[in-house]
């Protein structure tokens, strides 16, 4: 049986086939295959997910979660370097959804943590928007200090950026970065619940 990379590189693949395939894998298999996706496959997944089912905020953080209880997703982006990361989501004490990027130490020390606020995408109601132009006011104990994404050098990575997420399967979403939330950037990423 072909893997996820091969499936996404086949011309006639339908979105429903990608979803069904992902949902048959074990958690470890799913993470392994999703983390093997390169830029070409991420772009294809993004395109196939256009018009997919609505991605609810409770997909990232369950409704029963306690304030500041966090939920990590393994991530891989389409950038030339520092491809692996985790996006970690939580709700604050007022019910607002937030998170940050858990990157390798070098990236954290040089670029920062990229805190963000999460909301439904006003331009595409079936998608979720990760808004780096706003930062949370609370974070789980022991986490890195919250900083604005408009300061040097963080601004070169997260400043003015809003990521859009589309539903792919019960544990996988595909994302794309947008400058100001409207201008598409040539950066995609995939997230997989471990």
**DSSP element (H, E) containing 169:** strand 161-169
155: confidence class by pLDDT, cuts 50, 70, 90: confident
N- to C-terminal Cα distance for the chain? Answer: 23
Query: How does pLDDT run across 108-145, given as a tens digit for each residue?
Result: 777 878 999 999 999 899 999 999 999 999 999 999 88
Between 169 and 104, residue with greater pLDDT: 169
User: d(Cα 92, Cα 115) in Å, to the nearest integer?
Assistant: 13
- In this predicted structure, what is the pLDDT of residue 8? 97
Q: Do residues 46 and 39 touch, judged by C-beta distance below 8 A?
A: no
- In this predicted structure, what is the pLDDT of residue 107? 74
The CA angle 155-116-51, to the nearest 5 degrees, is 110
Residue 1 has pLDDT above 70, yes or no: no
- DSSP-derived 3-state class of residue 47: helix
- In this predicted structure, what is the pLDDT of residue 106? 74
Bond prior to 109 in cis (omega within 30° of 0): no
């Amino acid at each position: 049986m072909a893997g996820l990379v091969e499936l996404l590189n086949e011309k006639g693949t339908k979105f429903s086939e990608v979803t069904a395939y992902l949902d048959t894998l074990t958690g470890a298999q799913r993470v392994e295959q999703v983390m093997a996706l390169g830029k070409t496959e991420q772009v294809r997944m993004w395109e196939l997910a256009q018009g997919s089912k609505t991605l609810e905020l409770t997909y990232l953080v369950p409704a029963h979660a306690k304030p500041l209880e966090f939920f990590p997703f393994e991530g891989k982006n389409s950038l030339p370097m520092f491809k692996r990361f985790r996006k970690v989501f939580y709700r604050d004490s007022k019910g607002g959804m937030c998170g940050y990027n858990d990157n390798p130490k070098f990236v954290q020390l040089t670029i920062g943590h990229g805190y963000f606020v999460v909301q439904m995408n006003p331009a595409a109601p079936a998608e979720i928007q990760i808004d780096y132009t706003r930062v949370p006011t609370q974070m789980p104990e022991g986490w890195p200090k919250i900083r604005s994404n408009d300061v040097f050098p963080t601004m070169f990575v997260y400043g003015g950026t809003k990521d859009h997420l589309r539903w792919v399967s019960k544990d996988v979403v595909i994302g794309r970065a947008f400058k100001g939330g409207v201008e598409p950037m040539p950066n995609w990423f995939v997230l997989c619940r471990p």
